[in-house]
Amino acid sequence: MRRMDTGADIIWGGSAVSHRQVAPFAEVLVTLTKEQEIKLRCEANFWRSQHRQALVRLAQSEAAHRVEMARTTEQSAAREAALRSELEQAQGKIRDLQKRLFGRKSERSSGAEKNPAADQKSSRGRGQQPGAAGHGRNRESHLPTQIEVIDIDCPHCPDCGLGYVDFPGTEDSEVLEIEVKAYRRKICRRRYRRTCQCPGARGILTAPPPARLIPRGKYGVSIWVHLLLSKFLYGQPTHRLLRDLSDHQLTLSAGTVTGGLRALAPLFEPLEEALLGQLRREKQWHADETRWRVFAETEGKVGHRWYFWVFHGPSVIHFVLDPSRSAAVPIRELSGSAGGIIICDRYSAYKKLARVLEHFILAFCWAHQRRDFLELANAHPDLADWALAWVEQIGQISEVPMDNNSAERAQRTPVVARKNFYGSSGHWSGALAAMMFSLLLTLRLWEINPRT
């Protein structure tokens, strides 16, 4: 059988059917023209070339895909690391804010932290132990004594009515009292009449008047001492102080107090100079500064914020009130000194002082440094062991006081005053406040009672 198809001869090879399985068209013979063969070969070569090119493009695409996947993976890892770092920083900030808001204000360890067994119940009770010798009451024997004698009206026997007679001795007890009262001090100056006839002698001689703190002033030394101590040592505002005096039947006006303090201010200037001279002779100082308000216009300055600088030496505490917080203040304060060690925080003004005055050495407060390590341990738990190890070693690496607490404690007095009466009404009152803080805290440093 023969079939013609597009110029090709198809020949069926025999009519016998084999019993073995053969592929379809395996025994079919096709007859092609030369032109058709060439055409088919060209087409076959073309598609083989296309296949090879497709394989090359596929390999290139796979290689590019692998490179892109590697780059994407690297970028994703870097992004993940950055996000983890941001998350860790955010969590550190959250822990820091939670500690600031809800944590303990003191950095001191509790007893349970220092001693894990401290939370176990102790068999020893609190307070005075039975059978132990006590310290007894403080008799305050240095105070003056006012004796009160209490009698019984008509002591007699309740049965027969016969009276009692005095028995030697008394049964004594003590009660501590305090009495604050205002009184008028009447000064009587004796007068004398001459008995001679000398022409140059005065006919009547009168005893000289006592010296007054303020010429022709109505109020005595005790009142001004009370006003100065109440205001500058105990931080009592003027209006509250005047109300307290009014309750003691002594009436003063705010204007009288202001005028009196202004008249007293020059009397403290020699003490101020002596304190500054002693400060410059020291070899070691604690330094700090805090804000203070002066409600007076100052040329070239906007606002009322001034600063109290404190310089705490071994024997003197000196305050300086200045409108600026620049390095010019400590440089001016210590420029007459031979040099020494300044214990301070890391404020840049002290660093400039050390650059300008080369004979000064700065010892930064390790309480601030220690706080940095604690905040680092709190913000980055992976560095906690390293940071806390440094905290334990801080106390062993310094030969000067480890903290600036002396200056910060000295600043507590003006800070309390600032809280209660905000600041000073003028330049003169600010200067008076600085002199009084210097004088009163130096007295406290030497454990001298300012009232006596």
Q: Is residue 354 part of a domain?
A: yes
Q: Pick from 131, 250, 228, 133: which is nearest to 182 by CA?
A: 250
Length of the chain: 452
Encoding tokens for residue 146?
Answer: 């006012």
Give me the pLDDT at residue 32, please. Answer: 84
Taking residues 309-325, report their average pLDDT. 97
Give me the pLDDT at residue 106, please. Answer: 60
Encoding tokens for residue 130?
Answer: 């039975």
DSSP H or E run through 206: strand 204-206
Residue 248, C-beta contacts closer than 8 angstroms, at least 6 positions apart: 180, 181, 182
DSSP 252-274: --HHHHHHHHHHHGGGGHHHHHH
pLDDT bin (cut points 50, 70, 90) of residue 6 is very low
Give me the pLDDT at residue 114, please. Answer: 47
Q: Is residue 408 part of a domain?
A: yes
Give me the pLDDT at residue 108, please. Answer: 58
Give me the pLDDT at residue 37, please. Answer: 87
Q: Pick from 253, 266, 258: which is nearest to 213 by CA?
A: 266
pLDDT at 289 over 70: yes
d(CA 432, CA 271): 12
pLDDT at 1 over 60: no
**Residue 289 to residues 309, 345, 349: CA-CA distances in angstroms?**
4, 10, 11
Cα torsion 221, 222, 223, 226: sign: positive
Crossing angle of helices 427-445 and 412-421, rounded to 10°: 140
Q: Is residue 179 part of a domain?
A: no
pLDDT at 111 over 70: no
What tens digit of pLDDT does each residue of 363-400 get?
Answer: 998 888 888 888 888 888 888 899 888 888 876 776 77
pLDDT bin (cut points 50, 70, 90) of residue 118 is very low
Q: Which residue has the higher pLDDT, 352 or 25?
A: 352
Q: What percent of the chain is modeled with pLDDT above 70?
A: 90
Domain that holds residue 293: 263-365+403-445
Q: Is residue 414 part of a domain?
A: yes
pLDDT bin (cut points 50, 70, 90) of residue 288 is very high
Q: Is residue 276 part of a domain?
A: yes
Other beta carbons within 10 Å of 257 = 20
Give me the pLDDT at residue 400, please. Answer: 78
To which residue do tokens 């007679």 refer? 165
Taking residues 11-22, report their average pLDDT. 51
**Backbone φ/ψ region at 147: left (φ over 0), alpha (ψ -120 to 50), beta:** beta
Taking residues 437-446, report their average pLDDT. 97
pLDDT at 121 over 90: no
Q: Is residue 342 part of a domain?
A: yes
pLDDT at 65 over 70: yes
Encoding tokens for residue 134?
Answer: 């006590």
pLDDT at 11 over 60: no
pLDDT at 253 over 90: yes
Domain count, the chain: 1
Taking residues 327-333, report their average pLDDT. 97
d(CA 219, CA 163): 54
Q: What percent of the chain is modeled with pLDDT above 90?
A: 60
Q: Which residue has the higher pLDDT, 88 or 222?
A: 222
CATH code at 304? 3.30.420.10
Encoding tokens for residue 368?
Answer: 């601030």
Q: Which residue has the higher pLDDT, 172 or 19?
A: 172
Q: Is residue 174 part of a domain?
A: no
Q: Is residue 243 part of a domain?
A: no
Taking residues 137-161, report their average pLDDT. 88
pLDDT at 193 over 50: yes
Taking residues 64-91, report their average pLDDT. 91
What tens digit of pLDDT does each residue of 71-81 get?
Answer: 999 999 999 99
Residue 329, C-beta contacts closer than 8 angstroms, at least 6 positions apart: 289, 307, 309, 320, 322, 349
Q: Any idea which of 91-95, 333-337, 411-415 has the lowest mean pLDDT?
A: 91-95
What tens digit of pLDDT does each residue of 207-225 get?
Answer: 999 999 999 899 999 999 9
